[in-house]
Structures are given as structure tokens and as C-alpha cells.
Structure 1
Amino acid sequence: MLEGVNVALGVTGSIAAVKVVELAHELRRQGAEVRGVLTESAQGIVHPWAVEFATGHEPVTELTGRVEHVELCGRDGWADVLLIAPCTANTVGKIAAAVDDSPVTTTATTAIGADVPVVIAPAMHEPMYDHPGVLDAIETVESWGVEFVDPRIEEGKAKIATEEAIVTEVARATAPDTLAGRHVVVTAGATSEPIDPIRSITNRASGKTGRAVAKACYVRGADVTLVHDGDDVPYAAVKQVERAAEMCDAVLAAVDDGADALISAAAISDFTVDAADEKIKSGEERTLTLTPAPKLIDDVREAYPELPIIGFKAETAGGDEGLVDEARRILDRAGLSFVVANDASVMGDDETRALLVRDEGYAEFAGSKADLGTRVAEELAEVLGEA
């Protein structure tokens, strides 16, 4: 996600600085090169040697005749983005006032003046975060185009955001904004249909591909609505659903809210049953009558004839020829932009192989589901650019 990206990592004197080693490692795992910049207070919490170990570079702990702040974040500097994580209330206020009394605040002033993207992950006690002066400082800095990663409000503290949320914002700050200004609705995961208050019919879909697609669209600038059976995520507005009908209703409502495209990656139940009001007794034979569930893509297409829709199709037999045939069947039936077809054996895995099927042919993809998400987002940008 961050291949080839140079990250200047500013660290300030919040106790959350203890997490900087893990954060630096995650940035590097995602492909970034990282160099640290530490305030004096930060050095009292995390030793510069630890930051050097985590980044592979000796951190900047003071500014010298080398003008390290310009070397890193000047107009021709090394960094593609300045990430300040954690950022204290003190540092936010000083950045807002252009007070340059530490390596981090001076580097921030330089980056903002040089139009280098800046991402800030604040961390402090909750009353400090709620102080009107701190909120005003954040609003001021945001007005300059600086992105803030909202903290987690827990136990009376505004705790630093998760590594996933921070890394995702760094990616969004540095990736091509090919989907900027677009609202993309994505479905992911499985749906389940209750048999009784305890049992249900479902499938093995993990939602990894759909969530990867949603994240990739967000990274490229889109506002994303994710409709799935899982938890909240930092890169999308989430609508949580369980049944196929609930997913259909949630998607139609999200599309009605001004969507530019729908990516239907969820493995939606094909059948429903009449659920029993009480638990069905075990140990006796039972016949279930399966009723076809609503077809989400067909319902959306009927309501929105011009909406770009991307479909997904999983099969268990027939090889590539069978995948392409099934993909073309729904491509033609619903007038889709393209269909991502794959063998169902990849459900739950991190790696996948898929065929991207269009009217004029198809292309093969093999790699991680995260990379597939990137490919789908890139293809969507082309579709919307042609619309």
C-alpha cells in the first residue's frame, strides 16, 4: 500500500510514543521508507536507538547546520509525507501558531509551507482534547489541508488511532486521488438467513476482498459506504446487516444518498427460509423450504439504470471457461461495468486469483486480496472517467 513512499515520522512527548516502534515497522511492512524526528520530550519516553532500530535510520533529535527539517520536508526534500504520531496538544497548538521550537514543529512548518502532505494522529487525555483552544488549533491546521486521524476515546483518554487507521491515512495522503469526490458503495462478507433463533444458513465468505476494495477506494480519495456483516472500519461509513434483504435495503438507501458506483463483492445468500419462532428441537428430521432471496444487483439496476456497477462471481467448477461464461451471464443481464470472477476455493485466504471480465475480453489477476482491491479501484477510476 505504501510501496516507494518516504515517510518522515514525527514523534512527540505523549505516552503513546511507546507505540512508535510498532507503527514504524507497520509502515515499512507496507512498503514505506521511514525516518524519525523526535522532540526532546519524546526522547524521555522512547529512546532514539529504538526509533533507529525500527526505521533503519538514525533519527533527527536536534536541528543543526544540515537544516534537517528542510532536508526532510522542504520543496525538494526527501519525504513524500510528514506523519506526526503521536501528536500532543502542545504540538498541535504550536503548529497552528507556527511556533518552531522543536525538530517536529519546525519540520511541520516546513512541510506545510512546501505543500508536503501532513498527517497528524493526536493522543492526549480526553479533557485536553476537548479544550476549546486545542479544538480551534486542530480546525486551523485542518483548514490548511492537514489530515487528522481521529483518536479512540476510551477510559477518559483520546488514545492514538490504530495502526491500520494511521497507515491508511498516510496511504490516502500519498496515493493518486483518482476517485476524489466520488461516493462508492461496497458490499462485503457473507449474509445469513435464520432458521430459528439460534441456527442460520450462511456461507464461507470472509469479507477480506470486499474490505480490501473499500479501503483501496478510500485511499484513492473516495467517500466509501461499506455494507457488510462486520465491525466498523476506519476507512468507510459502515452499515451492518445480517440478511440478504437487509443488505439490499441498505445498499439501495446508500445509493439513493448520491452514490457514483456500486461494487457488489459480498457473497449474498441465494435462498431464505421461513424461520421458526423457537429453537427447533434436535434429533428429528426436518425439511426446509428454500425461497429465492432478492437479487441485489438486479434491484439496484432496476432502480438506477445508469449507475456503474461492478459484480463479483465465485464458482466451484468449470475452470476459467466456466468462470468467464458465468461472469458474462450476469454482466449482460444487469449491464455491469465488469465482473471479478474467481474460484470459491480462495474464500478466507489472503491470496487470490481472479479474472476481470469485460465485454471485450478478460484479464487475469494473481496476488493478495489487498492488491486485488487496488486493481479494482484502479479499474473503477477508469470506468468513472469514461462515464
Structure 2
Amino acid sequence: MLEGVNVALGVSGSIAAVTVVELAHELRRQGASVRGVMTDSARGIIHPWAVEFATETDVVTEITGRVEHVELCGREGWADVLLVAPATANTVGKIASAVDDTPVTTCATTALGAGVPVVVVPAMHEPMYDHPGVLDAIDRVESWGVEFVDPRIEEGKAKIAGEAAIVTAVARATTEHTLAGTHVVVTAGATAEAIDPVRVLTNRASGKTGRAVARACHVRGADVTLIHDGGDVHYADAVSVESAAEMRDAVLAAVGGGDDANGADALVSAAAISDYTVEAAPGKLRSGEPRRLDLEPTPKLLDGVREENPELPIVGFKTETSGDDDAMIDAARGLRDRVDCAFVVANDASVMGDDDTRTLFVDRDDVVAFSGSKTALGSEAAARLAAELD
């Protein structure tokens, strides 16, 4: 997600500085190069050698005649983004007031003047985070285009955000916003049909691909609604559903209809939606005896969306178990032609639940094979969608 991105990592004196070693490792795992910058207070919490170990580069602990702030964050500097993580109340206030009396705040002043993207990750006690002056400082700095990553409010503390949220914010700050101004609805994961209050019929879909697409659309500047089978996410407005009927209702509501000004600009349907449902028993079915379930087909989601939204760009996903490319292409073309999809991603079912995948992009003109991580697949799908909406 951060291939080729140069990150200047500013560390200030929050106790959350102890997480910086793993954060630096994660940034590098995602493809970034990282160079550390530390305040004196941060050095009292974590030794610069630890940051040097994590980044494999020298750490800036003072500004010398080398003018390290310009070398890193000037107009011709090394960094593509300045990430201040963690950022204390003191550091946020100084950035807002252009006070540059630490290596980190000096880099921030330089970056903001040079037009280098800045991402700030606050971490402090909750009363400090709620201080009117701190909130005013955050608002002011955000108005300059700085991206803040919201902390996790737990145990009376505004704790540093998780690594995934920080990586996403850095990616969003350094990626061209080719989907800016668009609302993209994405479905992900499996649906489940209740047999009784305890048991369900479902499938093996993990939702990794759909959530990767949603994250990649967010990184490219889109407002994303993710309709899926599990909980909140940091990169989208999330709607949790269980059954195919709930998925259909949620998608139709999010997409809107016809000329709905609040509707979606595109739908990416990556969820594995149940093809059959059953009439659920009111009580738990007793075990130990044969059962017969009468399966009823569920309405096709994309057909319903297309009926209400004749012009909506739709990206479909089609899963096949044969492993044969020709069969996958034929199935994808059938879906493409029936629903008038912008393109269809044909999946090999054998990779369900894995981190890597093998797919075929089938559009109106050609077929393109893809192999790699589901994160990379999400990026490719978002890029193709952006080209479709351009």
C-alpha cells in the first residue's frame, strides 16, 4: 500500500512512543522507507537506537548545520509525508502556532510551508484531548489540510490509533485522489440465512477482498459506505448485515435510486450473497434425526439495483470453483452482460480466506489476469473504477 513512499516519522513525548518500533516496521512492511525524528521528551521514553533499529537509518534528534528539517521536509526534501505519531497536546499546539523548538515541530513547520503532506496521530490523556485549546489547535491545523487520525478513547485516555488506521491515513495523504468527490458503496463478506435461532446457512467468504476494495477507494479520496458482515472499520461508514435480505435492503438504501442526489456514484459488489434462504424455525431444531430443508432462491441483488438505477456504474464479482480460466471468463461475461457491469472480477474459489488471490478482470473489451495480495487487488479494482468514472 505504501510502495516507494518516503515517511519522515516524528516521535513526540507521549508514552505511546513505545509503539513506534512496531509502527515503523509496519510502514516498512507496507513498502515505505522510514526515517525517524525525535523530540527530547520522546528520547526519555524510547531510546533513539530503538528507532534506528526499526528504520535502519540514523535518527534526527537535533537540528544541526545540516539543516535536517529542510533535508527531510523541504520543497526538495526526502520525505513524501511527515507522520507525527504519537503527537502530544504540546506538539499539536506548537504546530498550530508555528512554534518550531523541537526537531519534530521544526519539521512540521517546514513541511507545511513546503506543501509536504502531514499526518498527525494524537495520543494523550482524555482530559487533555478535550481541552478547548487543543481542540481549537486540531481544527486550525486540519483547516490547513493536515490529516488527523482519531485516537481510541479508552480508560480515560485518548490512545494512539491502530497501525492499520495510521497506514491508511499515510496512504491517503500520498495517493492521488482520483475518486475525490465520489460516493462508492462496497459490499463484502458472507451473508447467512437462519435455519433456527442457533444455526445458519452460509459460505466460506472472508470479506478480505471487499474490505480491501473499500479501503483502496477511501485512500483515493472517495466517501465509502461498506456493507458487510462484521463491525466497524476506520476507512468507511460501515453497515453490518447478516442475511441476503438485509444486504439487499442496505445496498438499495445506500445506493439510492435514479436521480437521488444523495445516492452513490458506483457500487462494487464483492460480497458472497446467499443464493438460497429457508424459512427459519421459531425454536432450536433438535439434533439426532434427519432434516429436510426447503431452499428458496433469494432475489439477485444486482438485478434489483440495476432496475432502480439504470445508469449506475456497477463492478461485479463472480466466483467459480473449476479453476479453469475459460469457465471463469464465461461466467463473468454472463454477469457483465446481464447486469451491464462496468467490469467483473472473476475469482478462483480456492483462494477464499487467503491473503493472496488470483483473479481475472473482465470488462467490455478484454480480459486481464491478476495475481497478488488482496490488498493489491483492492488497489487495482479502485484504480479501474476511477478510470471508469473519469
**TM-score > 0.5, shorter chain as reference:** yes
Look up the match of 2:199: 199
Match of 1:279 among 284, 299, 306: 284
Aligned to 2:58: 58
1: CA distance between counterparts of 2:363 and 2:70? 48
Asked if residue 79 in structure 1 is aligned to residue 79 in structure 2, the reply is yes
Q: Which amino acid letter does the alignment assign opposite residue 100 of structure 1?
A: D
Work out the CA distance in 2 between the residues paired with 1:359 and 1:89: 53
Residue 224 of structure 2 contacts residue 235 of structure 2 at CA under 8 Å; is this kept in 1?
Answer: yes
Find the partner of 1:266 among 267, 271, 280: 271
Question: How do 1:99-114 residues align onto structure 2 when only pairs under 5 Å count?
Answer: 99-114=99-114
1:13 corresponds to which letter in structure 2?
G
Q: How does 1:145-160 map to 2 (within 5 A)?
A: 145-160=145-160
| Cα deviation, residue 182, structure 1 | 1.1
Task: Give the aligned partner of residue 319 of structure 1.
Answer: 324
Corresponding residue SS for 2:64: coil
Q: Deviations over 1:322-344 (max 9, x none)?
A: 11111111111111000000221
The corresponding residue for 2:373 is: 368
CA distance in 1, matches of 2:165, 2:289: 49
Which residue of 2 is the match for residue 232 of structure 1?
A: 232
From 354, 365, 388, give the equivalent of 1:383: 388
2: distance between equivalents of 1:343 and 1:134?
A: 50
Q: Distance in 1 between matches of 2:110 and 2:279?
A: 64
Separation (CA, whole Å) in 1 of partners of 2:279 and 2:388: 40
Distance 2:306 2:125 in 1: 49
Superposed displacement of residue 258, structure 1: 2.1
Match of 2:183 in 1: 183
Instruction: Find the aligned partners of 1:157 and 1:124 in 2 and give their Cα distance.
Output: 6
Give the alignment partner of residue 301 of structure 2, picking from 286, 296, 300: 296
Q: 2:350 aligns with which of 345, 348, 355?
A: 345
User: Please, what is the CA RMSD of the aligned residues?
Assistant: 0.8
Runs (5+) with no aligned partner, structure 1: none
Residue equivalent to 2:364: 359
Hey, what's the Cα distance between the residues in 1 that align with 2:101 and 2:272? 54
The answer to whether 1:143 aligns with 2:143 is yes
- In the TM superposition, residue 318 of structure 1 has moved relative to its aligned partner by 6.6
Amino acid at match of 1:347: M
| SS of the residue 1:86 aligns to | strand
Alignment-derived partner of residue 329 in structure 1: 334
Partner residue in 1 for 2:314:
309
Unaligned runs of 5+ residues in structure 2 are: 257-261
Deviation at 1:360, TM superposition (A): 1.4
Q: How far apart, in 2, do the equivalents of 1:89 and 1:300 lie?
A: 47
Whether the 8 Å contact between 2:225 and 2:238 is mirrored in structure 1 is yes
* Cα-to-partner distance string for 1:46-96 (whole Å, 9 max, x where unaligned): 100000000011110001111110110001110000000000001100110
Q: Secondary structure at the match of 1:341?
A: strand
Aligned to 1:31: 31
How far did residue 316 of structure 1 move?
Answer: 1.1
For residues 328 and 3 of structure 1, the distance between their equivalents in structure 2, rounded to whole angstroms, comes to 33
2:67 is aligned to 67
- Residue of structure 1 in register with 2:127 after alignment: 127
> Separation in 1 of the partners of 2:87 and 2:323?
54
1:310 alignment partner AA: V
- Corresponding residue pairs, total: 385
User: Does the C-alpha gap of structure 1 residues 318 and 94 become closer, same or farther in structure 2, counting only changes over 3 Å?
Assistant: closer
**Separation in structure 1 between the aligned mates of residue 108 and residue 372 of structure 2, nearest angstrom:** 37
Q: 1:61 to 1:318 in 2, by over 3 A?
A: closer
Stretches of 4+ moved more than 2 A in 1? none
Length-normalised TM-score, structure 2: 0.98
Residue type at the aligned position of 2:10: G
CA contact (8 A) 2:149 2:161 kept: yes
Displacement of 1:319 after TM fit?
A: 1.0
User: 2:231, 2:239 within 8 Å by CA — same for their partners in 1?
Assistant: no
2:216 is matched with 216
Structure 2 counterpart SS, 1:314: strand
User: What is the CA-CA distance between 1:138 and the residue it aligns to?
Assistant: 0.1
Contact 2:323 2:348 in 1 (8 A): no
Q: 1:177: how far off?
A: 1.1
Cα deviation per residue 1:6-52 (whole Å; 9 max; x = unaligned)? 00000000000000000000000001010011000000001000000
In structure 1, distance between residues paired with 2:333 and 2:3: 34
What is the CA–CA distance in structure 1 between the aligned matches of 2:153 and 2:254, rounded to whole Å?
27
In structure 2, how many angstroms separate the alpha carbons of the residues matched to 1:373 and 1:138?
A: 31
